[in-house]
Amino acid sequence: MEKSPEEKDLHAVSFVVHATRGLIRDQNTRRKAMLFLLMLALLLLIFGFTFLQPALNPQEHPWRVIFFWILCIWLTFTALLLALFDLLVLRLQTRRAERALRERLKAARLRQGSGAAEQSSKSISKD
């Protein structure tokens, strides 16, 4: 039973979507991906200025140079976007934690206030 090309494409798209969701949702994985992307871009730059310099001569191979720089920029920009997303997620988590802390403090003050009111009413009734 052979699958049609459309079904194979659908499986590839589904895999990419699920992998992207996993990358975005997990903070640790997201940060590892940022590190990997930046290290790869740095490695490409080092290789481009040393070992690959003859192959990246703009007069002889202009399309290679253009592709090389587009790849370096794409890797760096992707890491930048992941970092911005990570920053936004951290800000959201901080706001939620602050809100939860405020609510707990407010509830504790209300309990403390009602407890103090009960104690004062008991002391007044004893007198």
Dihedral sign of CA atoms 100, 102, 103, 104 in order: positive
pTM score: 0.72
Higher pLDDT, 36 or 125: 36
**Three-class DSSP labels, the chain:** CCCCHHHHHHHHHHHHHHHHHHHHHCHHHHHHHHHHHHHHHHHHHHHHHCCCCCCCCCCCCHHHHHHHHHHHHHHHHHHHHHHHHHHHHHHHHHHHHHHHHHHHHHHHHHHHHHHHHHHHHHHHHHC
Q: How confident is the model at residue 122 (pLDDT cuts 50, 70, 90)?
A: low
Q: Which residue has the higher pLDDT, 52 or 96?
A: 96
Asked if residue 44 has pLDDT above 60, the reply is: yes
Asked if residue 7 has pLDDT above 70, the reply is no
Cα–Cα distance list, 74 to 6, 31, 47, 68, 80 (Å): 28, 17, 17, 10, 10
Query: For residue 9, what are the domain limits?
Result: 5-126
Please determine, for residue 127, whether its predicted confidence score (pLDDT) is greater than 60. Answer: no
Average of per-residue pLDDT across 26-43: 94
Cβ contact 51:61 at 8 Å: no
Q: Compute the average pLDDT of residues 108-122.
A: 72
How many structural domains are present in the chain?
1
